[in-house]
Amino acid sequence: MLPVYQMQNQVAPLDARCCGRVLFPRLPRSPNYAPEPGEYLEAVGDWEVLRSVLSPGDVVWVPLYTGDVEDPSDWPPTKLEDYETHMELVRFLGVNVKGILTGNHGPELSYKHQGWHATTNVRRMKSFVEATASVLQAAGTRPVYGTIDWDLLHDVHSMQELAATIQKFGGWQICFTGFTLVPDTYMQSKVKHFQGEQLRELEKLGGPRRLREYLSKYEVWSGVGGAAGLDMNPPLLEAFGYKAGMVAL
């Protein structure tokens, strides 16, 4: 059965259907935007309390670089003003969690809005991973990167360089909208973005077979499409090759 992780913005009891957490400390704005100085640390609160309630199976988002959704920071990435303190938190949590999630616009990593061509997007993401993964490794944790559905397609098209680089550093990908690439999944969103555009692009790359091969080789987690998606999506995602699911309850 596909393991499912509960996405939370504060540490709370796990739902019986979930095996761990993907934690986003509550910010005044969406986590898709880089926090203002001090915002993230205020949201985290007491570090000792946070560490005491986390389990080895949890993943925690720790922002390190500037950038907003659809407006990622330029290359090379610009460190947040609180970068050093945030890295202290990464080292503090270290081996107490399964991994640390970071990116260049909130928890996600993508340059598709600056370099729409697959090769450009993948090259920049790969460089970001090479610049950050060893730092997270040295802090005692596994690096996790929040690629998006288009990024998976771009990486399939570009010889899987991104996935291979992440794997080299012992990390994995969390694709919050990975379910959009799986035929027949439940989608609670009515936004056009979730109604076939990715599937049509997938067909251009040779259909689901190539993505299945990609997912069989690398660790990639996917969102399950909302709480209602728990009723049917996990078996479909598992059969497609995703290694875990995530849901906000």
Reported confidence tier of residue 106, pLDDT bands at 50, 70, 90 = confident
Domain span holding position 236 = 4-248
Return the pLDDT at 155.
Answer: 92
The DSSP bridge pattern shows strands 67-68 and 71-72 to be: antiparallel
On the question of pLDDT at 15 being above 80, the answer is yes
Return the pLDDT at 114.
Answer: 62
CATH of the domain at 120: 3.20.20
Comparison of pLDDT for 78 and 223, the residue scoring more: 223
Return the pLDDT at 191.
Answer: 60
Amino acid type, 11: V
Q: pTM for the whole thing? A: 0.92
Tens of pLDDT, residues 200-219: 777 777 778 889 999 999 99
Query: Based on the structure, what is the number of domains in the chain?
Result: 1
How large is the average pLDDT for residues 17-38?
A: 85
Return the pLDDT at 189.
Answer: 65
Q: Strands, DSSP E only, in the chain? A: 4-8, 20-23, 59-61, 67-68, 71-72, 99-102, 143-145, 172-175, 220-223, 244-248
